[in-house]
Amino acid sequence: MGVVPAGTPPRSLVVWVPDWPIVATTRDGDEPLDATEPIAVFEKGAVIACSAAARAAGVRRRMRRRDAQARCPQLTVVDADAVRDHRAFAPLIAAIEEVAPNVQVMQPGLCALRARGPARYFGGEAAAATVLAGAIAALGVDDVRVGIADGTFTAEQAARSGTRREDPVRIVPAGTAADFLAPLPVVVLDEELASLFGRLGVQTVGEVAALGADRLVERFGARGQWLYALSSGRDPRPVTARTPPPELHREVAFEPPVETADQIAFALRVPAAEFVSRLGAQGLVCTELRVVLTGDRGERSERVWLHPGAFDAAAVVDRVRWQLAEQGPGGAKSVAPSSHVPGQLRSAVARVRIEPEAVDAAAHHTARLFGSGPEERVHRALSRVQAMLGHQGVLTPAVGGGRWLGERQRLVPWGDVAGDLQAGERPWPGSLPDPLPSAVFAEPVPVAVLDDDGDMIAVDARGEPTATPTVIELGGRRRGIRTWAGPWPVIEREWDPARARRAHRFQMVDDAQGAWLLVCEEGVWQIEGRYD
């Protein structure tokens, strides 16, 4: 081995899992995606990662969604989710730390270690790389790359640029980092400056280093000094090992597996109390709880539960019980449904895991000095009733998305946020703008709208009323129409004859100053709402 130049960074080992956002979607949730299918993860409308099948169909990073779907009509579109990426990567980090401590997480799918310790222990850098890759492969990840070099930056580029699936380890000999980096494109240094360097005729990392530190500092300041250090193979950053977070989750295994919810709830009383106390020791409370049930056959039921305040031990046990009650016709007594439904268990429960999905500072949830206010008393009362009656026992009204007023009304279990409520903020062509009627009929009320001759009015193919509305006939009583507005078309699912719907809305004020929202659909009139 030759003499290593002075100032050479310490040896670093970088582990990289290609296309990690894709891998995360195939490992996370109740129904993970199939890695062999064309999948693309999008952020701000552009592809940030795609599966091998999607690449084979022509999908590429930075491609817009419309272009990607045009290249691959069967493409599964997934929104980027940093929480999902970190959550799915956590077991891999834990597996690496069991083999070699002091891991630095650079981003989900990418981590670094000091190479010296593992190389000594396992008998060389190549052996250490093989052991670490094997620890991840044992978790079912079949494409793991490892790069070892002087400094973290060079080791990362060795893993990314110097490996293939068939040859997943690249070791850059000590003292040769600059030579390895020289032919790489300048974009690996700085994506923002790549176009500027290109206009200057600088295309590779070696050409950036050849500019010299003085010229780079003169042009880019401190950033130029950083660029020179990286391009010359003198990455000054040490590997900064993470402090492993405290184990906040609790997991209970049942041997033999348990078939009744009462047994499971009883066994969880102490672990639930420990779960809450562990959070409390960190000054935290859990506001969103993830419950994972694993059946004896390996199937999983996973759900995130919300709380209007913060979870205590009793509330944790209640959520587990409610999730068990959803598993089949046996209700709270049986957890083995008669037929399989995705996300449900088909066998007795072998393991229950509870973990915080979202936490908040405990100081935000402390009791008031002079007792609780009315909102807190209402919360406690409703939570007690819900604990007795079950998850669906206490419902609160909410407004969701939709074109029809009736379908926008929701009843949400106390403490939950219905997933479709956010849909109310999306554009709904044909929906009614504010102000909305103060009264909405659960079932539309039949009504007749007549002209001066007493004939029923309809809406023609051009979307115009066949005559001027003059009379509303409701419950055998006729009311004169003082003023009216409309029609406004509501058109749904024209592409599906079986579900297509076409109607027209009118607003009318009768001679008693009653204001009504009426709908004419295929010549039939109904009252949708009333204004006060």
Condensed to tens digits (0 to 9), the pLDDT of residues 464-476 reads 899 999 999 988 8
User: What would you report as the CA-atom Rg of the chain, rounded to the nearest whole angstrom?
Assistant: 32
> Cα separation of 257 and 334, whole Å?
13
> Cα separation of 277 and 270, whole Å?
11
Residues paired with residue 510 on neighbouring β-strands, in sequence order: 481
- Fold annotation for 250-377: Dna Ligase; domain 1 (3.30.1490)
**Token digits for 239?**
């590997």
By C-alpha distance, which of 160, 225, 180 is closest to 19?
160
Interhelix angle 222-231/213-220, nearest 10 degrees: 140
Residues 394, 399, 405, 409: what is their CA dihedral angle, to the nearest 10 degrees? Answer: -10
Range with the lowest mean pLDDT among 227-236, 351-360, 396-405, 453-462? Answer: 396-405
Q: Tell me: pLDDT of 378 over 90.
A: no
By C-alpha distance, which of 232, 225, 226 is closest to 207?
232
Omega before 238 cis (within 30°)?
A: no
Domains 11-171 and 250-377 agree in fold: no
* Measured CA distances, 200 to 31, 265, 380, 530 (Å): 50, 68, 67, 69
Q: Out of 17-26, 404-413, 453-462, give the one with best mean pLDDT.
A: 17-26
228-247 pLDDT per residue, tens = 999 999 988 888 887 766 77
128, 14 contact by CB (below 8 A): no
> Cα separation of 212 and 217, whole Å?
9
152-179 pLDDT per residue, tens = 999 999 999 989 989 999 999 999 999 9
Residues paired with residue 52 on neighbouring β-strands, in sequence order: none
Q: Tell me: pLDDT of 339 over 80.
A: no
Predicted TM-score (pTM) of this structure: 0.58
Parse the chain into domains and list their residue ranges.
Answer: 11-171, 250-377, 439-531
At 435 the pLDDT is 77
More reliable by pLDDT, 329 or 416 = 416
419-456 pLDDT per residue, tens = 544 455 555 666 777 777 888 887 788 999 999 888 89
Percent of the chain surpassing pLDDT 70: 87
> Cα separation of 115 and 151, whole Å?
10
Query: Please, which residues have CB within 8 angstroms of residue 269's CB and are 6 or more apart in sequence?
Result: 313, 317
275-325 pLDDT per residue, tens = 999 988 888 888 889 999 998 888 888 888 888 778 889 989 999 988 888
Pick the CATH number of 11-171 from 3.90.1150.10, 3.40.50.300, 3.30.450.90, 3.40.1170.60: 3.40.1170.60
At 147 the pLDDT is 96
Residues paired with residue 149 on neighbouring β-strands, in sequence order: 12
pLDDT band (50, 70, 90) for residue 48: very high
pLDDT band (50, 70, 90) for residue 184: very high
The stretch 501-508 carries a mean pLDDT of 89
Continuous H helices in 326-412: 374-389, 405-408
